[in-house]
Structure 1
Amino acid sequence: MATESGEALQSSIPPILPKDFSAQQPETIRLYPLSNYTFGTKETQPEEDPSVLARLKRLEEHYGLHGMRRTCEGILVCHEHNHPHVLMLQIANAFFKLPGDYLQHDDDEIEGFKKRLNERLAPVGSQFSGEGVNSDWEISDTLAQWWRPNFETFMYPFLPAHVTRPKECKKLYFIRLPKKKVLSVPKNMKLLAVPLFELYDNTARYGPQLSAIPHLLSRYNFEMVDENDNVVSVTPGTPMANGVPLRTRVLAGGEPNDTSMDGVEEGMKIESHH
């Protein structure tokens, strides 16, 4: 049952609190609301390769010169209506990916990764000011490693026994978002906030790597706070308000009149950098 404002009524029967069940848990992660973050757009960043075949060919050239390619991608999490959402890029209204990319062969892992994150998501020029504009990236745990055994599209979350010289290793890191942050996405991409339940077991839409993210995050307990840092929900969580739709939201990017993504709710107003 809900009130006229859409807020769920509290049950008159208090819950039975179990004995502590948090042994061997990683540190509880604080998630800030989506409304804490500012989103904008910046100049287009064309894809380096016109086709999958061209990308694999460039991978082969890289391997010949420098050995296994190192790729870094970030899992950035906030919450909306007390449910974790992952920030994700969409390219050409079809292809989903996490922010990040391959490292240059001589890059330090973490510093090179931060440089890649800035290329994709950092604001430019004087587009924005205030808190969260120049804040650094807090790179936390490695949550997964995916291996590419051959110059093919297939990647695996393990290294097949017969493979001694993988061609690429992609690492997924958990990135702790600060209380405030400004993010700008290239105009030819969309920045989405995708709820975990949308990713879970949805390989048909998101592929095996992205649909596995809810599994990767299940090791953490979360506490959700509101815009004033008041804790509003903790694992195992409080019921979501009745009547509040949860869906993937477009936060920034995409063509002005693009309505091609079914079921996507337009996010907050965005600014363009010229």
Structure 2
Amino acid sequence: MGDDGRLHAIDDDDASSAHQLSYIDIYPLSNYYFGSKEPLLFKDETLSDRVLRMKSNYAAHGLRTCVEAVMLVELFKHPHLLLFQIRNSIFKLPGGRIRPNESDIDGLTRKLTKKLSANGASDASHWEVSECLGMWWRPDFETLLFPYLSTNVKGAKECTKLFLVKLPESRKFVVPKNLKLIAVPLCQIHENHKTYGPIISGIPQLLSKFSFNIIGT
């Protein structure tokens, strides 16, 4: 609105600039190869056991930081998100908790190598970790994660960071036998809290600032 109180049209150059998006190159799922390796060991614990473990770790190391990878492929001309499926009902992003004094990128690279590369593979560290897409916070041990941290919260207990990881044109994923690596369409994930939880179901919205450049279809 101008000084005279009337609405003015936006110049074409301004509109073009406002709608410029960053591109993500996405390659077909058929470009990638999949193998298996020894299963990962998971802690068999109750919710109360997990809370006790988190309290103990917090007392020793402070804020728990988790880093997770958002990796996209193309299938049926649509962008798909790579997810781990555990026991047919639990879905997780590749990643995990970083060590004390470990950087986010180093921690995520280590976790991706552990869960998706062959043991001792020469290309194990070749993960292109890009920008941080969002952060989620757990204000207390027994509360849910939130995509913000209220000003009245002192000493958050956990922070989960989502990073865009750009895949090369081709790669071999070597997956532990007790995990499934699946490709799920973004349209199925969008706002599907019941199946995928609040973090994963919010990823399509986080990716809305990008334009997908689907290659090789």
**Residue of structure 2 aligned with 1:69, choices 64, 68, 83:** 64
What number of residue pairs does the alignment pair up? 204
TM-score, normalised relative to structure 2: 0.87
Percent sequence identity is 41
Q: 1:89 maps to which residue?
A: 84
Task: Please tell me whether residue 123 in structure 1 is matched to residue 118 in structure 2.
Answer: yes
Query: What's the TM-score, normalizing by structure 1?
Result: 0.70
Indicate yes or no: 2:177 matched with 1:183: no
Question: 5+ residue gaps in structure 2?
Answer: 1-11
Give the deviation of 1:209 after TM superposition: 0.8
Specify which of 189, 194, 201 is matched with residue 199 of structure 1. Answer: 189
For the residue of structure 2 that corresponds to 1:118, the secondary structure is helix
Q: After the TM superposition, which residues 113-262 of structure 1 pair with which residues of structure 2 at under 5 Å, given as runs?
A: 113-124=108-119, 133-134=123-124, 136-226=126-216, 232=217
- CA contact 1:49–1:55 (8 Å) conserved in 2: no
Q: In structure 2, which of residues 75, 96, 119 is the aligned counterpart of residue 101 of structure 1?
A: 96
**Aligned equivalents of 1:62, 1:225: Cα separation in 2:** 44
Let me know the Cα RMSD of the aligned residues: 1.9
Which amino acid in structure 1 is aligned with residue 103 of structure 2? D
8 Å contact 2:70–2:165 — kept in the other structure?
yes
Aligned to 1:250: none
Task: Report how far residue 145 of structure 1 moved.
Answer: 0.2
Structure ranking higher in helix proportion? 2
Of 36, 41, 44, 1:46 maps to 41
Task: Please give the alpha-carbon distance, in whole angstroms, between the structure 1 residues aligned to 2:143 and 2:172.
Answer: 33
CA distance in 2, matches of 1:57, 1:205: 27
CA apart distance, 1:115: 0.5
3-state SS of paired residue (1:205): helix
CA deviations 1:222-257 (Å, max 9, x no partner) are 11111xxxxx5xxxxxxxxxxxxxxxxxxxxxxxxx
Instruction: After TM superposition, give the deviation of residue 165 of structure 1 in Å.
Output: 0.7
Aligned to 1:261: none
**Conserved? CA contact 1:145–1:157, under 8 Å:** yes
* Whole-angstrom distance in 1 between the partners of 2:109 and 2:143: 25
CA distance in 2, matches of 1:22, 1:183: 39
Segments of 5+ residues of structure 1 without an aligned counterpart are 1-18, 227-231, 233-274
Q: Does 1:27 align with 2:37?
A: no
